[in-house]
Structure 1
């Protein structure tokens, strides 16, 4: 039987398989090329302002008195955040950051400002100032010497540090520190150096207008309260001076018999009696009572009472009176006397 021609030679069969595989590879390659050629990258989602604001634990920026002289570096932490955010007009923030902004004092007391693309924080630092930047550059800000450095994964952000006081007192934070960087996901180019300088100039100028120098911590000075002012949002020296002034007047004792504290307190001790006035910048108390027309809470009956000083702030005055011979009601009567002048009434 002649079977020639019934089956193709093995060599031809192999060639056909190879050609089929090659053709499939070419078709798939052409299809992949066609699908990917000139295919643009997925467009980045436009950056937007945060939907939740203030951030958790943050406060809406409120108007506070601007410090003068060297007193800015002696502000309580929360107050300094409001001062620094308010020292730059909102339109200047928006102009420097390239669009609408949101401002807050965050949970750490920093002035925190964001636009859709940029993030800025400003605060005062105590010595030693942490060093995070590289490539330092000497700059002049509102007539003061400062240092500008790079920071961040790409070195795009900037940190600007400006020394505002040479005081070494423990209650002083003498260096203003401002940082500028992009928000996560932002791909635009920014002149971070120009932004930092554009913000720091008016900020430093607004908080260092002519005024008093910082006093030594052990030299309290009597200050007559001025109508409309008090201890709220004031630098620590002013708070201490006014607490001692009111304690001296209420107890009818000389100032030199009082013990001023560096962080807003004043005490008088005599025999077994101790009376202390203490300022708190961020109390967590619950105020269900009222004293001197303000929300209050008597923490220990007849011995300790705390008064909230402002409606939109957690600043308080705590009065502690340790005296076993004190008549009932004496603490509240004392509070009614000393609180109004400390509110600027």
Structure 2
């Protein structure tokens, strides 16, 4: 799925504003959208509007007001105006994603007996609306077609495709300016959602490392749909940070059940808690993409250049499409160099729109 258009009415600082993310020459929805502008031009507001609306439709949020984003309070969205706010998202689906969503729905146990469940529609263009905290689509069937990844999550343990189920359906994922080294803090495959601290990260990486060792030593054969996530994550890390590598898990002398996890920069060994600010800014993306197999999704990244020197900004920007298939990225930035590094049709200069707010 991709966001083709956005309309904001009486939403925070926006009075009546529309944006189209369709390339006028090709008619295709842009895979990359750069929202460029100074402070208070509404960059983060646009990401918040998309994530709160699409988050509910895809099931990542229970309510739009549940969006955990510093400075976002939905009940204050229309405080500057005398009318109710309205967010309209034009969403475009691929035919393959819609077919997969219907297939997965039909395979989820007990859905046929659940009166609340409804077979997803096959509409490639759908409008989502957020009004007074409620998200809706023109029909219930269209609303259910946003839940393809939720259906895959319910099937992943039993389906022969395993982890590969997630290649065919999408969702929405967001990273605010306060992202840390543990991404979205969501372990969606375990049906548990909680804060993902550094010790949990160390455990996860250690488990992946031990599994990787079994695979490389020939003691385990990967089944269909299984992946060597440790290998995938290290490959991505080394691409963005040449000469860096994973040293791996090392037991603590204190006897703690949680091991240290060390990396190597070509000269020195260092623990994951000692990563540079640049590494911490990048790690959430490569970790989440490796773990959650993100494809066909909308990815929102606020303050993309945060803690990244110019060369790493460009390297990361070029690498993003390689993390998954058919994803759409919305990136906010103050960096003129970053905006100049992409095709002009991908850049939306919000400084130009301020007089329309």
Scaled by the length of structure 2, what TM-score is found? 0.23
Scaled by the length of structure 1, what TM-score is found? 0.24
Structure exhibiting the larger radius of gyration computed from Cα positions: 1
Q: Per residue, is there more strand in 1 or in 2?
A: 1
Relative contact order, higher structure (CA 8 A, sep 6+): 2
